[in-house]
A and B are shown apart, each in its own frame.
Chain A
Amino acid sequence: MPDKVSPIEALPPASRAYGEIGPVSAEPRWGMVVDQERCIGCWSCCVICKSENDVPLGMWWNRINTVGDALDTPYMVQGELAMHWLPLACQHCENPACTKVCPVQATYSREDGVVMQDSQRCIGCRYCLVACPYGVRVFNWGRAERPTDFNTGMVAPRPIGTMEKCSFCVHRLTDGQIPSCVWSCPGQARIFGDLNDPDSRVSRLIRDRGGYQLLQERGTDPRVYYLPPRRKRGLEP
């Protein structure tokens, strides 16, 4: 899908270092950790995702769901108010429901675990959208509409009538850079890294903080883990 080159190399060295993936094992298996304790529901990751990947109006590869019944509204836990968010993009499952059902193998898992979408092969049957339990795939129903009349993204726009989805910013990964949503999170709620390396920050966080997978009972085995909030933030010291 990406036929544009990320201009990361043109960045000043300091900002380049900030987005670097860092040391990885010989055969990395990419994963992400989302810390629900740190997420403030600001939608920065969603917005930069739209810009980085040139996602048209009305379509989101990445979204922030509010835990509870109403958007950006607290919910009750044991008689007390609490407020948490569930940032949601492709879970890059180990056992993806979507790749199995694609009749033309337009969606597939890479060696490093990234679930990819080939919009040049996609026939637009939307079976993957039916199969995905997370509702993170988006279809080009009509002609793409964008707020600007030029393309903002670092990857090629997708044609009408095809499926698209989060790619873990695969064009950045090849440059040794973390995905845009991770890079841009002001609360540093997203952590990206190598799940094959037991000492990587993602592996340690999943172990230490009891990282859980979304809709675990469906058996899709996501590579995105969520860290449950440990305590309620209060005003007391």
Chain B
Amino acid sequence: MSATNTASAAASGGAIAGRQHRSPARLIWLILLGLGLAAGLGAWGYQLSQGLASTNMRNPTMWGLYITLFMYFVGLSAGGLIVASAGRLFGGVRLKPIVRLAVLEATVAVVMAALMLLPDLGRPDRVWHLFRYPHFTSPLIWDITIVTIYLIISLVYVWVYTRADNARRGSRLAFGTGSSSADDARDERMKWVLAAVGLPAAILLHSITAWIFGLQIARGFWYTALMAPLFITSALVSGTGLMILLALVVRRVGRISFHDDLIAYLAKLLAVFVAVEAFLVLCEMLTAAYAGAAFEADPISRLLTGHFSPLFWFEIVIGLLVPFVLLIVPRWRLRMAWVTVASVLAVIGIFAHRLNIVLNGLTYATVPYPPGVSIGTAQPLGTDSFAQHLFYYPSWVEWLVALGILCLGALMFTAGAILLPLREKTHEESPAAQA
């Protein structure tokens, strides 16, 4: 408690921020991210030369880590923007010191999500077909449309929130706008409009991503109207968790300042989101399991006791239960260390949740008879080229490509944090005022 308070007090002084600008730590951080990005690009190049056979995806498990990360990044993005917009629409000024951070995070995450789709395509050279021959009954086209709209909203969001400070600094990012009171008044109006547009866009973004899965009658585990609410809730859990972590990190390096109470407020929100998530998971499982119809109940038994049970119980216990306990006790909620642990667990837990949704929906053939589905690649002599279920674990190519996009996202975020004025001027001098 005392350590974090002194850190925030020192950070708000601004002197540390100035020194950090030339720190070797930042250089090392950037070099590491650059190396990760290079590794990802190299792996993608290898994948392009070999085809998707270099991944561990096959006909029985045709989607894997890439699609999981796509929906995960969409969730992080939507979560960040929902928190930011809802804060303005309903929550007053409490979240103001981190709104710029939230919209920056939302923008970076949605770019990462869009990029994640490219390596998943068998023919990335034909990605322009999506715009040349769009087929509007496909949820994938809806999703690409909303991702585009959402990206534009996020970029405008970032610009409007940093415009006044950019103009004051004489930065070119202000695009020639001034810093008069008329400009500031226009900003205020724009912020309301953006919050009003951004909140439904963020909710829609995640609903549509859910419908990619939830509308598929072939997959009993996915075919539920609960998919969209569940996706929005898990977006809120992972998005809020990541916001807490990023806010603490960025405060530590001195780019923003706020009082610990803000984190405690976010932590309380996170506890509520975690509880709703657990409730929805329970509703879903009970409905599917109760009737005992095979195409719905089998996936549930795989989660509870079968192949996916380690991942599932990790999600429930480590990803939901532990964070909830840590965050629901007011005394613990005020300790930044516990909040950090809870947020890390929630962010990882939601990733496990996403993996479970994708893989458990796919791994087993829908026509249960042997020999199952043809795998799709030539097998060595004496090996079966069919499978009724194929347990999927990402190949090194998939891990490296994912690492590359993660590093690219971190690079974009770092660049944004360095180049953009993230600090809200009005709150800089008196952090206690928001308490």
Contacts and interface: CB of A to CB of B under 8 A. Distances in A.
Interface stretch (A128-136, A181-189, A191-199): A128-136
Contact of B133 (A70, A100, A104, A131): A104
Given A140-B51, A162-B122, A162-B123, A145 B378 contact: yes
A68 B370 CA distance: 8
B377 A142 contact: yes
B367 A88 contact: yes
A57 to B, nearest CB: 4
A130 B62 contact: yes
Contact of B63 (A68, A122, A130, A141): A130
B130 A104 contact: yes
Interface SS of chain A: helix, strand, loop or mixed? Answer: loop
Interface in A116-137: 121-127, 129-135, 137
B185 to A, nearest CB: 43
Given A142-B53, A215-B366, A123 B127 contact: yes
A71 B123 contact: no
A163 B376 CA distance: 10
Interface of B: 50-55, 57-60, 62-63, 117, 120-123, 126-127, 129-130, 132-135, 137-141, 144, 212, 216-219, 362, 365-367, 369-379, 385-386
Nearest to A146: B378
A101 B219 contact: no
A133 B366 contact: yes
B213 to A, nearest CB: 8
B144 A138 contact: no
A101 B374 contact: no
Contacts of B216: 97, 101, 130-131
B367 A160 contact: no
Interface string A101-120: 11111100000000000000
B70 to A, nearest CB: 11
B194 to A, nearest CB: 29
A64 to B, nearest CB: 8
Nearest to B293: A217
Interface residues of A, number: 55
A138 B53 CA distance: 13
Contacts of A215: 366-367
Contacts of B53: 141-143
Interface of A: 56-60, 63, 65-71, 86, 88, 97, 100-106, 121-127, 129-135, 137-143, 145, 159-163, 214-215, 218-220
Contacts of B122: 122-126, 139-141, 160-163
A125 B120 contact: yes
Contacts of B140: 101, 103, 125, 127
A58 B216 CA distance: 26
B366 A58 contact: no
B386 to A, nearest CB: 7
Contacts of A101: 137-140, 216
Contacts of A135: 59-60, 365-367, 372-373
A220 B386 CA distance: 24
A193 B122 CA distance: 35
**Chain A CB within 10 A, most for which of B123, B133, B217, B369:** B369
**Chain B CB within 10 A, most for which of A100, A125, A219:** A125
Contact of A104 (B50, B135, B139): B135
B37 to A, nearest CB: 24
A133 B217 CA distance: 8
A143 B122 CA distance: 12
A178 B141 CA distance: 37
A130 B362 contact: yes
B60 to A, nearest CB: 7
Contacts of A133: 217-218, 366-367
A97 B217 contact: yes
Contacts of B126: 121-124
Given A104-B130, A130-B62, A218 B218 contact: yes
A220 B366 CA distance: 14
B9 to A, nearest CB: 51
A121 B129 contact: yes
8 contacts: A97-B217, A97-B218, A101-B140, A125-B120, A134-B366, A139-B59, A140-B376, A215-B367
Nearest to A132: B218
A102 B138 contact: yes
A103 B129 CA distance: 9
A67 B135 contact: no
A161 B120 CA distance: 10
Contacts of A129: 59, 62
Contacts of A58: 374-379, 385
Contacts of A131: 216, 218
Contact of B137 (A65, A66, A100, A121): A100
Contact of B371 (A71, A106, A138, A220): A71
Contact of B374 (A132, A138, A140): A138
Given A131-B216, A141-B377, A142-B53, A65 B59 contact: no
A104 B120 contact: no
Contacts of B132: 104
B62 A139 contact: yes
Contact of B376 (A66, A138, A218, A219): A138
A70 B370 contact: yes
Given A66-B369, A159-B123, 14 more contacts: A57-B379, A58-B377, A58-B378, A67-B369, A70-B370, A101-B216, A103-B141, A104-B135, A133-B217, A133-B367, A135-B365, A139-B59, A143-B53, A161-B123
